[in-house]
Structure 1
């Protein structure tokens, strides 16, 4: 994979069925730059070639280029079958990987916790499983870059080994999810806000702006793989915000499944903030919003939504108008902010409080335990001392307000 300082020289190839889409190659380049040094990018418009994915004429030309330019790895922005990968590696004489393998390698780089490492391994094995038999067969035909280590296996034995490891990791992750569910239960008395968004939209910067924290925020994809939960700063009520892994479009179902527990952590919130990079072009914003809504739908998320257009410092008033008019059907409850320059963050916090469907209750009491409980677990709007009694107006979740009022009647 190369060290952090000297990155391997990479050639990027993308095959498109019809028209050239500059954004797709830009995304591939952005992904590749996390680990490699992209020297050259090539896009071909054609139907997929069964042998190479790209056309055989282009393969011959690129084989020369790879030698001339001292390319060390080829990254194909399409999903390759094992035989396509094998055939390209044979022609190019260097390692060949596809977009999914690239994403998995980036995940490995950023997987710092045991859970994240398990999730990445699960995604890798689920990518491997349907390819396992073919990979072993190809490895036995002769060594190619990227096919080392499989030749010693019997085809069926390797396939069963992958299946067993998948089952083991799923069991381990289920235990982690159970711990999460218990942890979520203990936090149920607090309101929760989940940050969902395309990778690099600025979710981590927004978490920092809302909570006053300084979690690592890099202009790099997939910096966040594990969930981070923090409380919003400067308000009486305790509202917890959770940030998790960012999405990319055409994320395969097995990857969503592998990272389900971290995505669920956000999606299970009382309120979802879909964070969007407002500086992207309109079509790009539309594409990313669709991805966000599709993934929320896949994990059956029913929580209310605020669409947060981040990086407002980079756009004009005219662009704002166009976003609201042209993307109306994809936008729920919009607000424009800049996490970096703290623009409209206070307005966003107000909007969050308004959208959490909080109820207000009033209690007259002199019970010190109840007064203490209200101060610790609700937002106190007003506390008037009348002779020896407190008349407290408080705000909390509707079910909690009803429960507290009922409890007060019992102990009054």
Structure 2
């Protein structure tokens, strides 16, 4: 793996690249160079020669660059090293491909691949016609303009298919509007899926790998006297190009359109890493115009001491909204988090008199019952729910119980 920095080298970048690479490959060696980008190789010719020697001696299959490469740089590097060369964006796309399970996720991954490919298509075909290099196989069979137009047509087709999926999601979301919704967002590998599991009693697979969740998962929170739905979706990551965010916008919006947002953070990481990732979370939520109230959930608190907790709250105060420390592994703080969710949701209170068992059953299943008393042969129930749901219940024909 290679990382070139134009100015101050950030160790976190190479560590992040290593974590990404581990999902698909076995990283052997990292090289870092601090200098301006070289037009031919991205890195200097001296380091390129050094990497070539290392590749040849150690039977390396692929070289991954942390910086984005142009098709010409990729071609020159592949020619020099004799193995395939990719950059961080291509690596992320391959990880997405591995983890795409649903039809929508596969369409989104393909859209991201094509949008990455489009501005590079013509140059890739021209380079491929000069002679095949690792990673350029097959492009030489195309005519430049035909290949470019082929990609544009496929992009248009996929966007139409995703629009239909989006419409179906809107319908599904509408059917859930009477329930409160909570969105789980956070940097990839923060433990969102583990938190989803402990809140819902689910057993969704939670691997210690980045981008294991690409499609949305919506479940009911257990242990709360109300029907509250929580949605987990694709993890965030910094320095992702706009086209990649656009491709997964619909799944990100699914969480951001919730009544309440839980930003999940790995509290066991270094302070500067937590700060960096909190900034990414807020930046992406801003991009999707999220206006919902926020709870900042510091997960994995079983791995830190009280001093670290105090330091996080003191030093990162400007990025933190309604903080709580929890452990999805041990269960610490989970019940308090449930109470906090109830407290932060925009709820209204209603009072209704009824003897209708169907309505009573509905209230107990779908609202939070505050009080239930009998007076003069009638049950007087005080309940809490969304404002529009409270109004709907109060306006219904009690005798027909049209819930």
User: Per the shorter chain, which TM-score range?
Assistant: over 0.9
Superposition deviation, residue 408 in structure 1:
6.5
- In structure 2, stretches of 5+ residues that fail to align are none
Once the two structures are superposed, residues 102-121 of structure 1 have per-residue CA deviations (whole angstroms, 9 ceiling, x without a partner) of 00111111111111111100
Aligned to 1:207: 196
Q: Distance in 1 between matches of 2:350 and 2:396?
A: 13
Correspondence for 1:85 among 74, 79, 93: 74
**Contact kept? 1:365, 1:390, Cα under 8 Å:** yes
Aligned to 2:289: 300
Aligned to 2:37: 48
Correspondence for 2:145 among 156, 166, 173: 156
Q: Distance in 1 between matches of 2:99 and 2:50?
A: 35
Q: Distance in 1 between matches of 2:201 and 2:44?
A: 52
Q: Distance in 1 between matches of 2:118 and 2:391?
A: 51
Aligned to 1:177: 166
Aligned to 1:391: 380
Superposition deviation, residue 403 in structure 1:
3.0
Correspondence for 1:280 among 250, 269, 277: 269
Superposition deviation, residue 16 in structure 1:
0.8
Correspondence for 1:376 among 354, 362, 365: 365
Aligned to 2:131: 142
Q: Where do 1:2-13 residues align within 5 Å?
A: 12-13=1-2
**Contact kept? 1:358, 1:395, Cα under 8 Å:** yes
Q: Distance in 1 between matches of 2:400 and 2:176?
A: 25
Q: Is the partner of 2:264 in helix, strand or coil?
A: strand
Aligned to 2:234: 245
Q: Distance in 2 between matches of 1:18 and 1:402?
A: 59
Correspondence for 2:48 among 44, 52, 59: 59
Aligned to 2:92: 103
Q: Is the partner of 1:39 in helix, strand or coil?
A: coil
Superposition deviation, residue 322 in structure 1:
1.1
Once the two structures are superposed, residues 143-180 of structure 1 have per-residue CA deviations (whole angstroms, 9 ceiling, x without a partner) of 11000111011111100000000000000011111111
The number of equivalent residue pairs is 401
Q: Is the partner of 2:30 in helix, strand or coil?
A: strand
Superposition deviation, residue 227 in structure 1:
0.8
Aligned to 1:8: none
Superposition deviation, residue 373 in structure 1:
3.3
Once the two structures are superposed, residues 379-411 of structure 1 have per-residue CA deviations (whole angstroms, 9 ceiling, x without a partner) of 222211223211001110122223323446999
Aligned to 2:19: 30
**Contact kept? 2:350, 2:390, Cα under 8 Å:** yes
Superposition deviation, residue 369 in structure 1:
4.2
- Coordinate RMSD, CA, aligned: 1.5
Q: Is the partner of 1:140 in helix, strand or coil?
A: helix
Matched, 1:123 2:101: no
Would you identify which runs of 4 or more consecutive aligned residues in structure 1 move more than 6 Å?
Answer: 408-412
Q: Is the partner of 1:364 in helix, strand or coil?
A: strand
**Contact kept? 1:191, 1:239, Cα under 8 Å:** yes
Q: Is the partner of 1:300 in helix, strand or coil?
A: coil
Q: Distance in 2 between matches of 1:411 and 1:165?
A: 52
Superposition deviation, residue 364 in structure 1:
1.7
Correspondence for 1:191 among 152, 173, 180: 180
The TM-score, its normalising length taken from structure 2, stands at 0.97
Superposition deviation, residue 363 in structure 1:
1.3
**Contact kept? 1:363, 1:408, Cα under 8 Å:** no
Matched, 1:358 2:347: yes
Q: Distance in 2 between matches of 1:229 and 1:406?
A: 29
Aligned to 2:323: 334
Aligned to 2:278: 289
Aligned to 1:400: 389
The TM-score, its normalising length taken from structure 1, stands at 0.95
Aligned to 1:3: none
